[in-house]
Structure 1
């Protein structure tokens, strides 16, 4: 699908969202209203960019018409204008690309960053400390984000065995997630008397902060059965259907309650138990997902599973995923990684667009 086709789809969706926001039914649903409001804000940028692009299209058409005029001076000016617009329009289309992709659901979450020394002993711990400083400096320079320590485990010689911290702010997880993986360093350790280059590694895992769990239980997801309460040995407790059994259809959880005197009391108690069990289930699912993400990101911490190499003798940093190389290693280690982050973001956009086209 071309950029223009994507733009056309986005404009249609923007019109739909505007209509939905004016629907009285939407106003009554706070969650839907908030979701549509966020989408409307995002698509507003697309509409604005589309208007600018449409204006350039019109200017280009007019300039091309002037090329055929007999007036040499006017034709020369038109030629320059055509050349300018033929450069500007593709640039404007390229700038639209990130706006036309559906938003990442976790993009704006806070990030939990975990750095751990991998293979390489003391040198790996020193490198882990260097990475921690690099991210700290980047976050300080960037502005708009806040870093909050969670836990640290010191290594020997001033290194770090492990550092875990939270980064709070808009887009923290969405932007930092590209740092996940094995980072490899090649340099002469301070403890190396013979001056030999050693290779060590540290792992970085970037996880979305777990959100406060929303346990809205929809009535349509419940099957409620009532039956007569019975005491020990099947003795009848009462002759009314006061006992309650609630089945949560999506999860299959079943809760029965018959200890209370009335059906209403038993239903309230059963719902409390169901809510608690669902909360436990959601927490377990979140933890399992975070564990899966962590394992997939850092692999084994082995040097061979690298995403990036920091070569000190050559003052070179190479990101192996996108072939990005810079010889400003000192700047990178001081947190000046904006160009690298931009390149990773652009590569991610191009990959998603190519995937959709396929």
Structure 2
């Protein structure tokens, strides 16, 4: 037991050194000092949106530094408990050391994730849309299953979810589901889920109980901050209002509170109907539209660069990323990383997705996307 525990402590110490290097803590401390100086300047809150963005960056930098300092302290406590427990042959102290090691392992995983998120919006909020694919009624049911899986996952991580649009299908499931996720690293984490998700099971709508394969697509967009310019000409928008069809109470379902915005030049359509107020639904729809138009512009620029680079070998959006098999055996497997589990219930019902999402980011950080 002692040899294993000491080897574990040494491995955690090495991993902690590596994570500290990834995070560039000295640079982060300098960033904190600079941001604190800006926050104390006169007139800082004159531009409220810019000020909030600065404070969010400050909070993220402070979290990284305090997280590393806490991890260092926890490693020291674990070493002290282990060494004293070994010297005194005290199982309680050795057990305490083991618990501290397990806690430190989790902390380091979170810090590693933060170090991998280098995109402009990775540390911010996300807009997730789940859309039924091939499979008819089955696909609508699969859309609802994925929607609830993500709600559960967000709850596990302590993120706030605002449902923007989740109209109930006529027979079973959902026509689509769009929701905004607010929390640290929400976009960075959830972008691992973008792609096509495949379900294999005995059809609940088939009297002959035949096996059915269905698909749903997951789109993940960043919530684009207000200080990022996205050019939207009001004359390019067609705004329609209609009765909300989803849940939300009498006020939602009996008034023209639902909003559909069509961006005519790109034919991008966004709907929102889960708020009671038409104005609230319009504001939420415009936020989603800004994110979609921003992504379209980024994709256009990337396509122009691709023409210069030549054909890409990497598999792009639209390909199956994960299979959920309920029959004839039970297995959830990520086809990019190879991460899998036979505990399908924990994934679909309990939202136990960290093994897949962390596995994806570890794979991508190691160059997985370029080698696929």
TM-score normalised by the chain length of structure 1: 0.57
The one of 183, 207, 212 aligned to 1:198: 212
In the alignment, structure 2 segments of 5+ residues that lack a partner are 1-13, 45-49, 230-289, 303-314, 368-372
1:52-99, CA deviations, whole angstroms, 9 ceiling, x for partnerless residues? Answer: 334555x38x94xx9xxxxxx995549997898699569736632432
Q: CA 1:157/1:313 → structure 2, altered by over 3 Å: closer, same or farther? A: farther
The one of 130, 135, 138 aligned to 1:120: 135
In the alignment, structure 1 segments of 5+ residues that lack a partner are 67-72, 216-280
Counterpart mapping for 1:53-92 below 5 A: 53-54=75-76, 56=78, 59=80, 63=83, 75=87, 77=89, 92=104
Q: How many residues align?
A: 271
- Residues 116 and 361, structure 2, Cα contact 8 Å, conserved in 1: no
The one of 356, 363, 366 aligned to 1:344: 356
The one of 99, 102, 107 aligned to 1:95: 107
CA distance in 1, matches of 2:343, 2:141: 20
Q: CA 1:306/1:176 → structure 2, altered by over 3 Å: closer, same or farther? A: closer
Q: CA 1:126/1:25 → structure 2, altered by over 3 Å: closer, same or farther? A: closer
Counterpart mapping for 1:144-159 below 5 A: 144-150=159-165, 152=167, 154=169, 157-159=171-173
- Residues 74 and 100, structure 2, Cα contact 8 Å, conserved in 1: no
Query: 2:323 maps to what in 1?
Result: 308
CA distance in 2, matches of 1:325, 1:20: 44
The one of 28, 33, 51 aligned to 2:73: 51
Deviation at 1:39, TM superposition (A): 1.3
1:151-200, CA deviations, whole angstroms, 9 ceiling, x for partnerless residues? Answer: 6473x63244x413122321443333332221112223244344331222
CA distance in 2, matches of 1:188, 1:44: 49
Q: CA 1:316/1:52 → structure 2, altered by over 3 Å: closer, same or farther? A: closer
Q: Give the superposed CA RMSD.
A: 4.6
- Residues 152 and 351, structure 2, Cα contact 8 Å, conserved in 1: no
